[in-house]
Structure 1
């Protein structure tokens, strides 16, 4: 029983510390002479802390690797609430459909 409880605690920590979703885009030879293109914008080589679309990226001549800075709400009152992307905070707000100034409770998110 103790080992099962330890397993559950460890999995809870891993899930909590998990990063948002990530992707990589390999550059064709000669394509990335000055940096990496993402959504029509050129980013210089190195680390990009935040793109215009809320991703943290790393740009090299080989590839561009990006991870989202946001987590998508999955468990909330879908009948009375709606999800709105907030570009300023790089996250989704879940608000009442009848009064968007009031937030809804979110039970889980994925990223």
Structure 2
């Protein structure tokens, strides 16, 4: 029974690595004046080769476009033990799993 618990916890840790990603292809409007970087949905431009954090998404700008992956997994994609809950801090772009009974204590998988 203990090995099943360890397996489920490891599976949950693997799920933490999964995150939502998106890709915004480079838009070339004028072939005589090609873009010098990528543009996000707010119109802000980033140089090719740059890596930035936008709305808790880790993004990189390439000649193909802007590629971004969420730094915080969705609760739907994470296997959270029943006694735990996910606390998200969007200002710090971080999260932690804590005990529901005492959110000052982080969940222990082992």
TM-score (norm 2): 0.52
Structure 2 distance, partners of 1:106, 1:87, is: 24
Structure of higher RCO (CA pairs closer than 8 Å, 6+ residues apart): 2
**Which residue pairs with 1:26 in the alignment?**
25
Contact 1:58 1:65 in 2 (8 A): yes
- SS of equivalent residue, structure 2 residue 29: coil
CA displacement at 1:26 relative to structure 2? 0.9
Question: Distance in 1 between the 2:43 and 2:28 partners?
Answer: 19
Verify the 8 A CA contact 2:19 2:74 in the aligned structure 1.
Answer: no
Verify the 8 A CA contact 2:59 2:67 in the aligned structure 1: yes
CA shift at 1:66, angstroms? 1.9
Long gaps (5+) in structure 2: 1-13
Kindly state the Cα deviation for residue 101 of structure 1 after the two structures are TM-superposed. Answer: 1.9
Q: Which protein is richer in strand relative to its size? A: 1
Question: Any unmatched runs of 5+ in structure 1?
Answer: 1-14
Q: TM-score, normalised by structure 1?
A: 0.51
